[in-house]
Structure 1
Amino acid sequence: MFKIYGWLVYNGSLQSEKFLEINMIYKETAEKKGICLDLIKNNEIYCLIENGVCSVKINILKKNPDFVLFLDKDVRLAKQLEKLGYRLFNSAKTIELCDDKILTYQVLSDNGIKLPKTLFSPLMFYETDDNDFINFIEKEFKYPIVIKEAFGSFGQQVYLAENKEQLISLRKRLYLKPHLYQEFIHTSRGKDVRLHVVGDKVVASMLRVSENDFRANISSGAKMYKYQPPANFIETAIKASKLVGADFSGVDILFGENDQPIVCEINSNAHIKNIYECTGINVSEYIFDYILQELKYNERDITI
C-alpha cells in the first residue's frame, strides 16, 4: 500500500486533452515515487462558512491528504484549505502573487532584479475624463507600449499599442479592469526563456522564439528550443521564485541589453508538457522529490 496520499487540485473547467494529459503525467510520476495521487477538480470541493466555522466538503468521499498539489488559480479555495491545515504546494500566497502581475512586480521590486519599467492603471469604478493619464503614459513611455491585464494566461491578455490611437482604444477597453503599462524590450522581441525552478534549483529551461508575434508563447505559435541558461539567468530565476515564496515555478525572462536578464513574469502552476517535449526532462519528478523532502519522507519510508 501507498504510505503517502495527496490531492492534485486542478480547474474543473479545463477539460481539454492537453490539460488532462498534464494531470496524468503528475499522477504517473507520483505512483513511481510511492505516492497515491487523486485528481480532484476545484469545483468538486465546496468551501463553506457554517455557524461561523470554516469547512470544506467534497462530493466524492476522500480521506484527508498528506499534501495538496495545487495546480489551479482558485486562491480562495487554496486559502480555505490552508486555514483547515492542509499543506499546499504552492501556497495560497504564492498563487495570489503570481496570478496578479501587478502584485508580482511589487514584490520583485527593490530586490536587485531587473524589471521592465511598469505603470499600474489606477483602480476605477466608472469611466471619467482620462486625458491626464494618457498624457502621463506618453510622457513616461515610448511606442510601442506593452499593455497587460493583471490576470491572464498564455499571453492572451497581453497587447501592444503602436501609437496613440491604439493606446486610447486599449485603455478604453481595459479601463475597469486591473492592468498595467510597460516598456517594450526591443532586444527580446518575440523571444524569451522559460526556466522551471524547483526549490532552489533550475531543473529545466527552454528558449521560446516567435517569428510573427511580439510575444513568445507556445500557444501563440512560438517555437521552443533546448537552452542552457547563463549563470545570471539561473540566479535571477531562483531569486525571483524565492521572493514570491514558490515551492516550484516557471520564471519567464526577457533578454535585455547585452543579454541581461529581465524578469517578465512568474507562473505558480507552469505547464510541464512543453518543457518535457522540448528537453525530455520531466519536471514533475523534481516536484515530487521536493514534496517528499518537505514532508520529511525518504525512500525507506515509502512502500507500495
Structure 2
Amino acid sequence: MYGWVIYNGHLTGNKFITFSKWIQYAGEKEGIDIKLKRNDQVLPIVSSNGLGLLDHDQFPAFVIFIDKDIVLARQLELLGIPVFNSANAIELCDNKVLMYQALGQKKLAIPLTIIAPKIFTGSKINSENFLHIEKSFDYPMIIKEGYGSYGEQVYLIENRTQLIEKINQVHDRPFVFQEFIKSSYGQDIRIYVVGDEVVASVKRVAENDFRANAQLGSTMEAYQPTRKEKELAIQATRALGTDFAGVDLLIGANGEPIICEINTNAHIENIYKYTGVNIAEHIISHIKLELNC
C-alpha cells in the first residue's frame, strides 16, 4: 500500500515536516509506504484532456493532507484519490466564517457570532453602519479574521474607538464579530479527535493574554475531558466532516464547553509531549479502517 503526505513547501518552520515524518513512521510500522511531498512538488494540470498532476503518472492509494492548499486537495479528489482531510473539510476549517456557519447550522455551542459584510479593497467605510452590533455585544468583544493561525488574527476590542479602528484595518478581509467568553480568559481545552474518537486532550493556560495558543506562550498540561466536552468535540468534527482535527473548546460561565474553533492540521508534537499519545498512529489506523485494509 502506497500513500503520500502533502505539506506546504514554503513554510520555514519544522512543525509541519515533523508532523509529516511522524505519519510516515507510523505508516512504516503498519507496513505502509508513505512518501513526503511538498505541495509545490504536486502541481495540478487542467487541460482539454482532463485533469492531472505535473510529472506524476502514477497516483498513490491515498493522501494525508497536512496543508491548506484546497485547490490541490480538490484536484486529488477529482482524480479519484481518497484525501484525508477532504478539501471541503479543510476549506470549512480554514475560513472561520464558513466554520461558524456550519457549526451554527447544526445548533452546536458556539459564541454568539455576527458575520461582517463583504467590503471591497479601497471602499469607503461608513463606521456608523456597524454600531448597531453594540446591541448584541457588550465590551469587550472579539473581532476574528476568517483566515489566521496561532491566535494572531484574533483581537480583543475594549471600546467603540477600538471597534472602529479595527474594522477599518481588516475591512477587506472576511471577519466576524463575536461574543467574548470572559470565563475562559487565557485558557482553553484542545481535544484531538480522529474519526469519531477522542484520542488525547490538553488544557492550555496563558498568564498574560486572553488567547491560550501555545505559540503565544501558554503553558500546557494533559487533561481528561468530561463526557460533555468529548461529545461536543466529536459533534464539531462531524459537522465539518474532518477525519482528524484539533478542537479548541472555551470554558463557559457555568463550566459548559463552547466551541472556539477546529483545526485540520493541529500540530501533534506537543500533544505527545504532554500526553504520550502519538496522534499519527491513530490517523494511520483510521485510514486503514476507512480503506478497508
Contact 2:7 2:16 in 1 (8 A): no
Q: 2:77 aligns with which of 74, 82, 96?
A: 82
Aligned to 1:264, the other structure's residue is in SS state: strand
For each residue in 1:109-139, what CA deviation from the matched residue of structure 2 results, as whole angstroms up to 9, or x when unmatched?
1424111011111001142242333311222
Q: Which amino acid aligns with 1:140?
A: S
Residue 62 of structure 1, CA deviation:
7.2
Greater mean alpha carbon deviation, residues 232-241 or residues 12-21: 12-21
CA distance in 2, matches of 1:271, 1:103: 22
For each residue in 1:198-233, what CA deviation from the matched residue of structure 2 results, as whole angstroms up to 9, or x when unmatched?
111100000010011000000000111110000000
The 5 Å alignment of 1:253-264 reads: 253-264=249-260
Q: 1:285 aligns with which of 252, 277, 281?
A: 281
Which residue does the alignment assign to 1:5?
Answer: 2
Which residue does the alignment assign to 2:237?
Answer: 241
Aligned to 1:259, the other structure's residue is in SS state: coil
Which residue does the alignment assign to 1:301?
Answer: none
Residue 164 of structure 1, CA deviation:
1.4
- In structure 2, the gaps of 5 or more residues are none
Aligned to 1:181, the other structure's residue is in SS state: strand
Percent identity, aligned pairs only, is 46
Aligned to 2:151, the other structure's residue is in SS state: coil
Aligned to 1:281, the other structure's residue is in SS state: coil
- In structure 1, the gaps of 5 or more residues are 298-304
TM-score, normalization by structure 2 = 0.96
Superposed CA RMSD in Å reads 1.3
For each residue in 1:19-46, what CA deviation from the matched residue of structure 2 results, as whole angstroms up to 9, or x when unmatched?
3222221111111111111110111111
Contact 2:16 2:66 in 1 (8 A): no
Q: 1:155 aligns with which of 151, 157, 163?
A: 151
Aligned to 1:290, the other structure's residue is in SS state: helix
Pairs aligned (count): 292
Q: Which amino acid aligns with 2:66?
A: L
Aligned to 2:106, the other structure's residue is in SS state: coil
Which residue does the alignment assign to 1:199?
Answer: 195
Q: Would the alpha carbon gap of residues 37 and 62 (structure 1) be closer, same or farther in structure 2, given more than 3 Å must change? A: farther
The 5 Å alignment of 1:215-254 reads: 215-254=211-250
| Aligned structure 1 segments of 4 or more residues deviating by more than 3 angstroms | none
CA distance in 1, matches of 2:259, 2:156: 18
